[in-house]
Amino acid sequence: MNEKNILKKSEEVVSREIEGETILLPLYKSSKDMNYIYTLNKTAAAAWRLIDGKKTLHQIKEELVKEYDVDEEKAVKQLSQLVKDLRSIKAVK
């Protein structure tokens, strides 16, 4: 993970918070193409909120480390996996 990267949320995905759960829904041209709804856990949802097209991954990691009192190595590993997952569903650019 290049911590200097800045991610931007894709216009191809909408997110909603419903009863404390953050849900990502990819937008498709027709309902027959809609196969997935993604639910983020608490830390992934926090990272999703921090992705604003301005903060670097380093800044996001630092905020998560402070908020969740987790060591940097674990934060980097989890954030790297989240970024990979978000890219695979085209939720971030």
Residue 50 lies in a domain: yes
Q: What is the domain range of residue 84?
A: 13-88
Residue 7 lies in a domain: no
How many structural domains are present in the chain? 1
Residue 8 lies in a domain: no
- Predicted local distance difference test score (pLDDT) of residue 65: 96
Contact 56, 6 (CB under 8 A): yes
Distance in angstroms (rounded) separating the CA atoms of residues 84 and 78: 10
| Tens of each residue's pLDDT in the chain, 93 residues | 899 999 999 998 999 999 999 999 888 755 665 668 899 999 999 999 999 999 999 999 999 999 998 999 999 999 999 999 999 888 999
Residue 72 lies in a domain: yes
- Predicted local distance difference test score (pLDDT) of residue 34: 62
Residue 6 lies in a domain: no
Residue 92 structure tokens? 């971030």
CATH number, domain of 35, equals: 1.10.10
